[in-house]
Amino acid sequence: MSYFITTPIYYVNDAPHIGHAYTTIACDIVSRYNKIDDDDTFFLTGTDEHGQKVEKAALMQKKNPQDFVNEMSKNFRDLIPFLGCEINDFIRTTEQRHINAAQALWKKLDENNQIYLSNYEGWYSVRDEAFYQESELQKIDGKFFTEDGSPVEWIKEESYFFKLSEWQDKLIEYYEQYQRPIYPETRYNEVLSFVKGGLKDLSISRTTFRWGVPVPNNKNHVMYVWIDALCNYLTAIGYPDTNNSNFKKYWPGVHVVGKDILRFHAVYWPAFLMAADLEPPKKIFAHGWWTNEGQKISKSLGNVIDPYEIINEYGLDQIRYFLFREVPFGKDGNFSKQSIATRVNADLSNTYGNLIQRICTFVVKNCESKIMPSNNLTEEDKALEEAIESSVISYRYNMGEMNLDSSLKGIMVLLNEANAYVDSQAPWKLKTTDPDRMKVVLYMVLNIIIKSSIMLYPFIPQSAEKALSYFNISKDKISFNNFSLLIKNEIKINNPEPLFPRFEL
């Protein structure tokens, strides 16, 4: 199977922060999961470099927009390996391949009679790069603002329009046919009621600034930054050549986005695609927003979380784990240092790391560093084996649905069972009373540790790889294909090092 997963492309008006890191890591987790499931996976991210917001930011710094975006895009590019993410392509909307693709998409829409020239008059938020109806705004001290507090300005200019109003029925059909492609369900319902409420044609070009992809055949217009940006997903797999092997293999893709940009992805984007005779997205997952110690993250409040700082302080896998265990994917979450330390100590240090440490050390010391598989299982062992099987099944279901927190919770439940089993079986006592039984018990626990490490791998790749190396399982063996084979033969064990030192609370 092939799988194409994308992050939104990030605006380069400012430095990357924890919100950007969150989306990229989410996609890395799903991409790694699919890769170890032997799917042919393509993971795309990149930067959104056109539009008024970016142009303004360049002007503020008295820089030429191209030099400015080159510099800023690099910050996002460099962050990826630091986040432990393995991508397949990084796209920039100022690249020629993208300009060609965006113009080709425009021409196709035009050919299909989906675009017309008229005048736009209404509210626009540069911060959101979005048009607003007055009914969506609030008036404070005589000025209008969006619900999230973005200022808006009144614009009046000649503009091309996309005939979005004609796509209402087709969009509803798409949602039904693709069996609710929008997750989570609450967001799906919001999108559906928005579409059912009726759609207005969408302004898709601007004339009052130049920093954008030129509209084919009319030099006075640049494309509205959202049609330009959304097209990146097509560019990266070779559009407009829809016969190339990547396009055939990977389209349609799965888009992961923040809740704030769901409408662009779940309404405008599928409509553009269908209007250009292309298949709409396979799935769209909308995640929630992070606050910092209860407050909205914003530059003006000075509480932006720098991914470099937080990862240097707590560790990469610790932060990756925290972000996806702490909050159900799709819900808003609150970032606090206290919660990171508490969560990491409880789950990664005590439940997972400590179990590995004590079992491996015990086997090295008392069993010549190796354990043979055993069939001599008691009823209790068999029940534990069943618990392992069902835990793997529900993990895989949850990963497919992007219920990332539930996947992690399930692994921790299993590891807690393993810890309770060790305590009740007390292998240190069996050492003298029943050494054969002791080996069966250790085998059972190793089975859980190895399988849990593989399930944890997409979330905490460096630590899981390290843990698996204690059992002489190398990275290329991390797969669901040979999952059971890994524990079919003698398991040789190396002396472990502590994986997750505890944080002082």
- Binding residues for ligand MSP (CB under 6 A): 8-11, 19-20, 22-23, 48, 229-230, 232, 257-258, 260-261, 289-290, 297
Give the residue with the Cβ less far from ligand MSP, 235 or 391. 235
Give the residue with the Cβ less far from ligand MSP, 349 or 403. 403
In the complex, what is the shortest distance from the CB of residue 333 to ligand MSP, in angstroms, rounded to a whole number? 8
Give the residue with the Cβ less far from ligand MSP, 42 or 290. 290
Give the residue with the Cβ less far from ligand MSP, 254 or 257. 257
In the complex, what is the shortest distance from the CB of residue 230 to ligand MSP, in angstroms, rounded to a whole number? 5
Q: Which amino acid is at 288?
A: G
Cross-strand partners of 284: 182, 255
Only one residue has tokens 């619900």, namely: 147
Contact 456, 500 (CB under 8 A): no
In the complex, what is the shortest distance from the CB of residue 387 to ligand MSP, in angstroms, rounded to a whole number? 34
Helix axes of 461-469 and 316-326: crossing angle, nearest 10 degrees: 110
Give the residue with the Cβ less far from ligand MSP, 11 or 161. 11
Give the residue with the Cβ less far from ligand MSP, 290 or 421. 290
Q: Indicate the DSSP class of residue 192.
A: H
Q: Give the three-class secondary structure for 254.
A: strand
In the complex, what is the shortest distance from the CB of residue 182 to ligand MSP, in angstroms, rounded to a whole number? 14
In the complex, what is the shortest distance from the CB of residue 411 to ligand MSP, in angstroms, rounded to a whole number? 24
CA angle 355/403/446 to nearest 5° reads: 20
Helix axes of 435-456 and 461-469: crossing angle, nearest 10 degrees: 150
371-407 CB burial, b ≥16 within 10 A, e <16: beeeeeeeeebeebeebbeebbebbeebbeebbbbbb
Contact 69, 47 (CB under 8 A): yes
Single out the residue of 67, 56, 45, 63 nearest to residue 13, CA to CA. Answer: 56
Give the residue with the Cβ less far from ligand MSP, 305 or 346. 305
> Which residue sits closest to ligand MSP, CB atoms considered?
258
Contacts 24+ apart (CB under 8 A), 393-401: 395/455, 396/480, 399/30, 399/33, 399/458, 401/183
In the complex, what is the shortest distance from the CB of residue 286 to ligand MSP, in angstroms, rounded to a whole number? 8
In the complex, what is the shortest distance from the CB of residue 3 to ligand MSP, in angstroms, rounded to a whole number? 19
In the complex, what is the shortest distance from the CB of residue 384 to ligand MSP, in angstroms, rounded to a whole number? 38
Give the residue with the Cβ less far from ligand MSP, 4 or 11. 11
